[in-house]
Amino acid sequence: MEQENFGEFFEKWMKEQNQYLSELISTAKGGNNIIDNNSEAVAATEALIKRVIEHYEHYYEVKSYWLEKDALGILNPSWISSFEDAFLWLGGWRPTMAFHLLYSKSGLQLEGRLLDLIYGLSTGDLADLSSHQVVKIDTLQRSIVKQEKEITENMAKYQETIADPSMVELSHVATKFKMETSGRGDDYQLSNMEEDFKSALARKEDGLKEVVKKADELRLATLKQIIGILTLAQRVHFLIAAAELHLRIHEWGLKRDSNPR
């Protein structure tokens, strides 16, 4: 990990995600083999999904490592586009967005396979969600909404600590020092003051790390729990939709940044 920064890792990870997307699409094309419980196809698909989930786990493992080294850099990433940055929630995607993705893809596939469903044919994709699955997804969504809200509120409370008594006192002392010495103060006193500021800011950054860690834990947990509700074939389609959205928005965002209107 020390050999590369997170931006370099991210670019490599995105290339790997694109490779996994190709594999998932290829698997989806042979979806009937999964629906028909072809043992070889099922085993290969399960192995692929396991690798894809591990790829996401690796992303958050490396991100956690870099979060400890540079929390502010993770919260203000230079490796993504300004468009992506505008939609970030605590350094990543909102966990509740995964449900909007699921329902959007389900609706699109439902429109495309409506005739099959009318005739009682199983489509095997996200258009074929059962009533039992819908109930479980709805229950999970309510739980994730609540947890996401709690983390958002914790972040808001923590942001307010930038104006707590210790920070206000430090800023007052610094202003008084500058006015009284016109910037030509005692080097020892100035050095002590700078150390006080560094310590105060480091404590603030440590608090940010904890909030972002919780956000990342919820992101990964949400992905895994949705996957756990879906059938094998549906997992393939959901992971395709997630990768397509991530890769294309990143691609479009970078193009927009390089060719601003």
> How do residues 81-113 score in pLDDT, each as one tens digit?
999 999 999 999 999 999 999 999 998 887 756
Q: Is 37 helix (H, G, I), strand (E, B) or coil?
A: coil
Q: Considering the entire predicted model, what is its pTM?
A: 0.87
Chain-centroid distance of CA 36 in Å reads: 34
Question: Are the CB atoms for 106 and 126 separated by under 8 Å?
Answer: yes
Token pair of 11 as six digits: 């670019």
Residues in the chain, overall count: 261
Of 125, 153, 168, the closest CA to residue 25 belongs to 125
Mean local confidence (pLDDT), 155-164: 88
Instruction: Give 29-53 pLDDT, tens digit per residue.
Output: 887 777 678 888 899 999 999 999 9
* Domain ranges (residues) in the chain: 6-258
Question: Are the CB atoms for 60 and 216 separated by under 8 Å?
Answer: yes
Question: Are the CB atoms for 94 and 260 separated by under 8 Å?
Answer: no
